[in-house]
Structure 1
């Protein structure tokens, strides 16, 4: 059985593939528009000085996501 973790638990410098979105419909649509579809590679780049949000590289673009949004994105570490 494959083990998925929430994106906000991905350590800085690690990469993962998106497997499932567990977000409210409005948030889900925004995440899909950002390119977070199944099997998209994501890399955790850095946290802000306050610890939230975190910057991720997604499809060649750096995007900052709050923990409350990232916790609904289930990923598989690679």
Structure 2
């Protein structure tokens, strides 16, 4: 964890969706509250951008998995054909 309360950028790629989302919510809350220096605000903004990318990748992956599952042909009983 850094001095501004965020985790390091190196750990971003290993975050799960919920972790990234929760940290992004905290970053937004801190930015909206104000009271940070310009340097702190920029660091928070950059961290927020990284976290948003992590969330986007997770959601795109989930969408691709869902699309693949929906594209599988079904047999007569409604179950997907292996």
Shorter-chain TM-score category? under 0.3
- TM-score using structure 2 length: 0.27
Whichever of the two has the greater Rg, that structure is 2
- TM-score using structure 1 length: 0.28
Which structure has more helix as a fraction of its residues? 2
Bigger RCO (CA 8 Å, 6+ sep):
1
